[in-house]
């Protein structure tokens, strides 16, 4: 096992405390544990010029020992996050298309930075910078000094975006800080036998040295004690049989197609619990990677799913039959059959001229046929805009919803037809990275 120093162990415990929060913003996490006024640290990344400046307070900067320690801790933080990411303990991903500003600010001391009169105003208290290596207060006093790091790619890779934390973090915590559960002395078997022996001796002494009345009272007390023990045991057995209400469990996964190549040939991060792959499209197109992906997902013992890309111009029954022919080995632990319908489904026709009534009727025909063939209620993949324009029938609400929404919020926008039912799966990001390849990240709620 890799050995960790005290600083790294503290960071690992912080990461562990975020485990149940699902997708975590790296910015929020890092500002809580490292880049804040209490720690006296901040970071500004120049995205266009490709360098980063690590800021520390004057008190830290002017002391050679504390300055060196701060730089070492910053380097260790980067190295630790990179190590955890490569080991699958955490998975870091970014929506690169959302990075629109030339600079990235990382510290809770920064608030809505803006450019005014050739300087960058960093917060409402007047903190600003007019030189790359200095942060000044409203009076113009330098309160933070910066150290430049030219390897901005390594910084951006590990400090920007979001993370998903796997259960593997708990294993690391247990190994570096094992918890030894001590059994109370009165629960040890040897104590129980000694206590029983003393009780017997005490009872014998009391019986032989007391009159009959005291002896009868003693027997009565013992009988009452036995009754209490029996009641406790009965209550314990009843409690053990009580069913705890099942909580919704959140799982993270990816969806893939031929465009992702043989991405499953390598190990996936531990945080990935399921994979959904494209199977078919229209009336006769089979994704060339489907057979490989379908087999690999099963071999990796992950929950698997397959989807059909629906083409509005093609016959719905023909499409359903063709889709089912490819996934007939679907098991009860797999996702139900999934149909993907979106603006691309208008292939070869103008979406504005489509007849919504016939579109919806045909899609419902497809869903009914797939349900007949599979014995499972199929799932519908779509997005909010398309569904509210074309899938308005309340009949769609009976089908579980897989919704695409990349707004990086805590929950997706649910189309009107599903507003009372809610979502089952959420395609949250199109920019999740595995082995330098960009794929979709999904969330699935097991209810």
Q: How confident is the model at residue 428 (pLDDT cuts 50, 70, 90)?
A: confident
Cross-strand partners of 441: 254, 429
Please state, for a pLDDT cut of 90, what percent of the chain lies above it.
40
pTM: 0.53
Span 338-343, mean pLDDT? 94
pLDDT value of position 41 = 94
pLDDT value of position 287 = 95
pLDDT value of position 104 = 86
Span 286-306, mean pLDDT? 95
Largest CA distance in the chain: 105
Residue 414: Cβ within 10 Å count = 18
| Residue 60 and residue 67 in contact, taking contact as beta carbons nearer than 8 Å | yes
Q: Is the pLDDT of residue 220 over 70?
A: no
Q: Which of 256, 289, 247 is nearest to 275 (CA)?
A: 256
Tell me which residue has tokens 């809770």: 108
| Residue 402 and residue 338 in contact, taking contact as beta carbons nearer than 8 Å | yes
Q: How confident is the model at residue 206 (pLDDT cuts 50, 70, 90)?
A: very low
In terms of pLDDT, which residue wins out, 93 or 88?
88
Using DSSP, state whether 92 is helix, strand or coil: strand
Q: How confident is the model at residue 320 (pLDDT cuts 50, 70, 90)?
A: very high
Q: Is the pLDDT of residue 156 over 90?
A: no
Residue 215: Cβ within 10 Å count = 15
Chain-centroid distance of CA 155 in Å reads 22
Q: How confident is the model at residue 284 (pLDDT cuts 50, 70, 90)?
A: very high
pLDDT value of position 256 = 92
Span 421-436, mean pLDDT? 78
Q: How confident is the model at residue 159 (pLDDT cuts 50, 70, 90)?
A: confident
In terms of pLDDT, which residue wins out, 160 or 130?
130
| Residue 16 and residue 170 in contact, taking contact as beta carbons nearer than 8 Å | yes
DSSP string, 31-53: HHHTSSTTTTEEEEEETTTTEEE
**pLDDT (tens digit, 9 = 90+) per residue, 30-86?**
998 899 999 999 999 887 666 789 999 999 999 988 998 898 888 888 888 888 888
**pLDDT (tens digit, 9 = 90+) per residue, 244-267?**
444 567 888 999 999 888 889 888
Beta strands 379-383 and 401-404, pairing class? parallel
CA distance 353 to 191: 84
pLDDT value of position 435 = 58
**pLDDT (tens digit, 9 = 90+) per residue, 103-121?**
889 899 998 888 888 889 9
Please state, for a pLDDT cut of 70, what percent of the chain lies above it.
75
pLDDT value of position 98 = 45
């Amino acid at each position: 096992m890799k050995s960790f120093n005290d600083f790294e162990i503290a960071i690992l415990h912080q990461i562990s405390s975020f485990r149940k929060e699902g997708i975590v913003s790296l910015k929020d996490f890092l500002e809580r544990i490292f880049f804040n006024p209490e720690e006296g640290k901040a970071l500004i990344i120049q995205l266009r010029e490709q360098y980063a400046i690590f800021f520390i307070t004057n008190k830290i900067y002017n002391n050679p020992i504390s300055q060196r320690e701060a730089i070492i801790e910053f380097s260790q933080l980067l190295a630790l996050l990179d190590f955890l990411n490569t080991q699958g303990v955490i998975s870091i991903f970014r929506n690169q298309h959302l990075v629109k500003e030339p600079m990235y600010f990382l510290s809770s001391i920064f608030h809505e930075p803006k450019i005014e009169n050739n300087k960058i105003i960093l917060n409402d208290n007047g903190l600003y910078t007019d030189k790359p290596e200095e942060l000044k207060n409203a009076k113009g006093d330098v309160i933070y000094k910066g150290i430049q790091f030219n390897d901005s790619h390594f910084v951006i890779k590990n400090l920007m975006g979001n993370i998903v934390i796997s259960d593997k973090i708990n294993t690391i915590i247990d190994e570096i800080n094992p918890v030894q559960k001590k059994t109370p002395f009165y629960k040890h078997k040897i104590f129980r036998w000694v206590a029983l022996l003393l009780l017997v001796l005490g009872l014998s002494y009391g019986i032989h040295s007391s009159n009959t009345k005291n002896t009868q009272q003693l027997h009565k007390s013992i009988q009452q004690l036995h009754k209490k023990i029996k009641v406790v045991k009965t209550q314990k057995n009843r409690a053990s049989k009580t069913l705890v209400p099942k909580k919704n469990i959140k799982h993270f996964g990816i969806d893939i197609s031929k465009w992702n190549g043989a991405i499953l040939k390598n190990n996936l991060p531990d945080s990935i619990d399921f994979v959904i792959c494209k199977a078919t499209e229209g009336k006769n197109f089979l994704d060339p990677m489907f057979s490989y992906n379908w087999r690999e997902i099963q071999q990796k013992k992950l929950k698997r799913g397959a989807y059909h890309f629906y083409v509005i111009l093609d016959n719905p029954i023909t499409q359903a039959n063709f889709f089912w022919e490819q996934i007939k080995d679907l098991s009860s632990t797999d996702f139900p059959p999934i149909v993907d319908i979106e603006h691309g489904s208008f292939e070869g026709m103008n979406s504005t001229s489509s007849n919504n009534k016939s579109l919806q009727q045909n899609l419902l025909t497809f869903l009914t046929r797939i349900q007949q063939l599979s014995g499972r209620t199929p799932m519908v993949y779509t997005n909010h805009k398309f569904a509210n324009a074309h899938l308005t029938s309340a009949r769609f609400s009976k089908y579980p919803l897989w919704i695409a929404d990349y707004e990086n919020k805590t929950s997706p926008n649910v189309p009107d037809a599903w507003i009372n039912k809610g979502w089952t799966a959420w395609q949250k990001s199109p920019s999740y990275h595995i082995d330098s390849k960009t794929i979709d990240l999904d969330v699935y709620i097991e209810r």
